[in-house]
Amino acid sequence: MAILRAMHPRALLYRGAPYLHLELSKVDVSGRSEMRFPFERLGQRINEIGSHIHRETLPQRDWMAIPEERSSGLVPAPDDARWRAFSVGQWWGQDERSPWIWFRREITIPDGWSGRRVALAVRLTEPGSASYPEALAYVDAAARQGIDRWHSLVYLQDKARVGERFDVALETWRGRDGSARRFAQADLVWIDDETEAFYFDASVALEVAQSLPEQDYVRTHLIDALEAAFLVVDFREPIGDAFYASVRRARRTLGDEIDAVPLPPRHERICAVGHAHIDVAWLWPLSQTRQKTARTFSTVLRLMERYPRYHFMASQAQLYQYIAEDYPEILAGIKQRVRQGRWEVNGGTWVEMDTNTTGGESLVRQFLYGRRFFREVLGKEGDILWLPDVFGYSGALPQIIKRAGLSYFMTTKISWSQYNRFPYDTFYWKGIDGTPVLTHFVTAPCDQWFYTYNGDLSPSVVMGTWAENRSKDVTDEVLLTYGLGDGGGGPTSEMLERGGRLAQFPGAPRVVLGTANDFFRRLDAGLGGKRVPVWEGELYLEYHRGTLTSQARNKRANRKSEILYHQAEALATVAALLGEAYPTDQLRKGWELILLNQFHDILPGSSIHAVYEDSARDYARITEIGETARDAAMQAIAAHMKRPPGEDAVVVFNTVGRARTDLVEITCPVGSGEKGYPWPPALVDAETGEEAPLQHLLGEPGEHRFLMLASDVPAYGYRTYRWQSRRGGREQSGELRVSTRGLETPYLRIALDQQGHILSCYDKVADREVLAEGERGNVLQVFEDKPLRFDAWNIDISYQDKMWEIGDLSEVHVIEEGPLRVGLELRRRYRQSSIVQRYYAYAHTPRLDIETVVDWHERHVLLKVAFPVRVHSSRATYEIQFGSVERPTHWNTSWDYARFEVCGHRWADLSEGNYGVSLLNDCKYGHDIKGHMMRLTLIKCATTPDPEADQGLHHFTYSLLPHRGDWRHSTVGEAARLNDPLLHVIVTGDTDARGPALPPKLGLASCDADHVVLDAIKAAEDGDGLVLRLYEAYGQRGAVRLSFAPRLANVWECNLVEEDERSLAIQDNSVAFQIKPYQIKSFRARFLPWREVGGSGGR
């Protein structure tokens, strides 16, 4: 996303031809001592030259048309009965059901145009429209190029033949605002090459002169050269052969005069890379992106035919996959240019993803699937993580970049920050683990305070890019990306004409049309011995803070999908080791949908409503694939259990990297039929014979629903409980208490006030109050949210000026009593919305869960929850991918208060010396902790670009966790358990057992270091072994031992894209290694054939 901005003021005004005309009112005429007003006068003359580039024009008024509901990508046959006569000047797109239309006609080269360069000039609507129609032009049934506001010439022939015919069809989309359009122009034009060349020669000379200081001698020489050239031009009417002959002479004059300008030595260089930032979704749905990509990429291919020095770069494997699926002929052209080195494949990821809210393993998959696609489909990949338009950059990224096999990072977005200008444009960015990555910010100016990735090659932008760069002391070359973006489009012929002339032009930096990869390699090689700045930690964007919360349902779906696929892969891996088929293709398809929906305008919540309709369908499909794979794996594993004939069992699965004792909720049929179960049952640990604690819950008619406390379930493993229904069981008594005024457990004593807020939370173990004196916890707060700009994106600091508490408690009642968990339900109303909260407290953990269901119907407010805690610290800690970051809790400096809303994943923590409080969640990301006040942002209900954003039902859970010491004591594990609950299957006695047989308890793999998280287990992408990923979570270094249940054949350390690096020695079916603070490690393990496993296994 970026502002859809007009072109630079010195290069404006479309006047019937696709050439940029100087807007005279915007010309810098500060040098009024030049009494002849040369800039105004010369600009006017250049515009007049531009109006005569089309030497002859032949209107093409009569067309045929077919309105359509959706894009087909197939040109309707000439004899299709749906074709209707259509004329230039008619309106189209009035029918809401038909946003697409095909236009078609045959075009014939007329007499007298032999050998001429011929094009079709098309305007699909009137100038000045807020949004513009777009079309893919087909010539003789082959996709030729895109048509949009800035690409309006369809080039037909460089040397036309009289009588030559072209069958032209335009597959046209009316634009994002849905307005009816008037087909404004369709003219066959003869382009006079010399007049076009003189226009650009003169334009560049004038624009360079305008950009130079008034007393600069090059400026004076350029003005004199232009004056001399225009003395030669014969503007007398009627314009004809005499004019065009004089233009040729004038061009020679201008060239000779410019060649005579003395050139001062200049070392600075601009590496200009053709680029088209395509938002995979934003103000248009995914279906439209497929066409935008085709239009953009086909235009690039056509321009490459005309400009042999033109290089183009495009990131995002997803876009290339769309082309491969829909336009194989365009893909073939791309592959040819890739082989020639002119089409640069770079970026490294599946999409340009959000890096704040995307999970750690998902970031890895962005690189894993992106790089693999580029390598396998396009045969080449680059070295750069390319994220020009993402809303802040996680401190975990540098390590991920390097371990994924890339070397460099590029963006422009940090220049959007509100309060503080970032001090460097070329520097080493160090992540939370200390990994450095060479980083370069593009500094192309635009008409706002920030830089743009949608640059052009006008002299003002080229010269401004160098002038704005803040790292001139370390490099004399900077990167410039040019081309229309956000909605695609890419470079124009005008940009390339200007860029070619700036390769060596007096007064301007030298422009080199090249590749981003070559630029970064030159930059890297030239930094030796220089004092290159270093920035440590996250690259926080002081803007777009609302994207941590907007479209909350989508963020929840992403978190739940990440967890689901984590579970499915780990369990499917175990099943595969037992001989079951691993669902490679299904999980790959699901992952691709997850990665797609992490695009930086989808997941952050900054797209139109139709995008979230698409996203909801995608997440339904993601869930279906993931649950099918996960549940099939659990059933397959359970079928390998050793058990007496006819005996039923419950198999409990743990898919986190640490053994755990936790609750699992079980539902089974009431005991009347053959497989009904009487109450109370007895579930007995199949290994120890101990009976598991149970608690009955209310269920639906015909079913039993109960909690069971499963003890010491191994990491990435299971524990089996035998069903002893005939014997009967019992519910254990416990120390839990609950009433409408509070809850009590062995850990906490919680008192509520009359509005249901937490009046006191007393930590019985630590013998201290958790909340600040005289303040209440779990207070729902509503803030007015009316940012100055970018409604869905932004939260302005002034939101804090106006706040209301939600205290209208309409109902409170006890919902659960028992030995394992107690529950209390509270119901509230707020204006048009309703809120149901359930407090759950436990016998086995000090965590207080607050499950919340909100039916929300408010707009332009923020909903937050506040916990003022009795803790003093100048810094708070927040989980990010593969680790955590500290941020200040004070506003000492502008850099501090700029971070008034920050990102955290599953937890945030405020700790002092020997005690702290963590705030956990299962799907939220926006936090603010100032002083002793901890707040979590729950809902942001903007109306632009989606008027229905965040309306309706929301489900989420957040938790209060007091603890000894700091967050290292228990926060990481409790957050994992909240987000990744125990799973189970019921195995009936008539289920056929399979071999090899499994013991009643088993853990696939575990590590012995508490500060190391075994985060993912999956099948290797190439099918050779399994891959394990772990990371150091506490900021500590030390020795780690990774142990396995199946017999190891070999273990290799690999990088994040699963390339083997070094072999590890195996001892006692385990491997040992050293780990550094916040380091990510990946291993490929290969196993011997699985035989019957004895013992309990796991940790």
pLDDT at residue 991, as a whole number: 64
Query: Closest Cα to residue 564, out of 617, 630, 615?
Result: 630
Would you call 255 exposed, middle or buried from its count of C-beta atoms within 10 A (0-12, 13-18, 19+)?
Answer: middle
> What tokens does 1071 get?
């491997």
Under 8 Å between Cβ of 326 and 294: yes
pLDDT at residue 176, as a whole number: 84
C-alpha dihedral sign at 590, 595, 596, 602: positive
Q: Give the span between the Cα atoms of 941 and 947, in whole angstroms.
A: 9
Query: Closest Cα to residue 1008, out of 975, 980, 978, 1038?
Result: 1038
pLDDT at residue 780, as a whole number: 99
> What tokens does 632 get?
């099939």
Task: Give the class (CATH, top level) of 649-730+982-987.
Answer: mainly beta
Domains 649-730+982-987 and 1004-1099 share a fold: yes
How many Cβ atoms from other residues are within 10 Å of residue 79's Cβ?
6
Q: At what angle do helices 193-211 and 241-259 cross, to 10 degrees?
A: 40
What residues does each domain of the chain span? 24-53+192-262, 54-191, 545-640, 649-730+982-987, 737-965, 1004-1099
pLDDT at residue 653, as a whole number: 99
How many Cβ atoms from other residues are within 10 Å of residue 159's Cβ?
9
CA distances from 875 to 497, 908, 910, 961 (A): 54, 11, 7, 18
Query: Closest Cα to residue 886, out of 1076, 1034, 1079?
Result: 1034
Q: Give the span between the Cα atoms of 250 and 244, in whole angstroms.
A: 10
pTM beyond 0.75:
yes
Under 8 Å between Cβ of 229 and 202: yes
Under 8 Å between Cβ of 899 and 887: yes
Q: Residue 865 corresponds to which amino acid? A: V
As its CATH architecture, domain 545-640 has Up-down Bundle (1.20)
Q: Give the span between the Cα atoms of 245 and 243, in whole angstroms.
A: 5
Under 8 Å between Cβ of 504 and 295: no
Q: Give the span between the Cα atoms of 778 and 864, in whole angstroms.
A: 10
Residue 144 has phi, psi (to 5 degrees) of -105, -55
Q: What is the DSSP letter of 1057?
A: T
**CATH fold group of domain 1004-1099:** Immunoglobulin-like (2.60.40)
CA 779 to chain centre: 32
Under 8 Å between Cβ of 399 and 1080: yes
Q: At what angle do helices 241-259 and 217-230 cross, to 10 degrees?
A: 160
Query: Closest Cα to residue 1090, out of 1045, 1027, 1023?
Result: 1045
Greatest alpha-carbon pair distance for the chain in Å reads 111
Model confidence over 71-90: pLDDT tens digits? 888 999 999 999 999 999 99
Q: At what angle do helices 552-577 and 609-638 cross, to 10 degrees?
A: 30
> What tokens does 902 get?
């920050």
pLDDT at residue 674, as a whole number: 53
CA distances from 253 to 120, 192, 249 (A): 31, 18, 6
Q: Residue 25 corresponds to which amino acid? A: S
Q: Give the span between the Cα atoms of 200 and 494, in whole angstroms.
A: 8
Q: What is the DSSP letter of 586?
A: H
Under 8 Å between Cβ of 686 and 722: yes
Q: Give the span between the Cα atoms of 67 and 103, in whole angstroms.
A: 9
Length, in residues, of the chain: 1099
pLDDT at residue 129, as a whole number: 75
Residue ranges in the chain whose pLDDT is less than 50:
1-18, 23-33, 672-673, 726, 728-729, 1094-1099
Q: Give the span between the Cα atoms of 430 and 167, in whole angstroms.
A: 56
pLDDT at residue 96, as a whole number: 77
CA distances from 632 to 567, 594, 624, 647, 713 (A): 12, 21, 12, 21, 20
Task: Give the class (CATH, top level) of 54-191.
Answer: mainly beta
Looking up tokens 């640490």, which residue turns up?
658
| Exposed e or buried b per residue across 1029-1051, where buried means at least 16 C-beta atoms within 10 angstroms of its C-beta | bbbbbbbeeeebebbbbbebebb
Q: Residue 679 corresponds to which amino acid? A: W
How many Cβ atoms from other residues are within 10 Å of residue 1023's Cβ?
9
Q: Give the span between the Cα atoms of 932 and 917, in whole angstroms.
A: 10
Under 8 Å between Cβ of 344 and 304: no
Half-sphere exposure of 774 (CA within 13 A, CB side): 0
Strands 269-275 and 510-513: parallel
CATH superfamily, with its number, for domain 737-965: Golgi alpha-mannosidase II; domain 4 (2.70.98.30)
Q: Give the span between the Cα atoms of 201 and 183, in whole angstroms.
A: 33
Q: What is the DSSP letter of 641?
A: B
In three-state secondary structure terms, 646 is coil
Looking up tokens 């956000």, which residue turns up?
486
In three-state secondary structure terms, 716 is coil
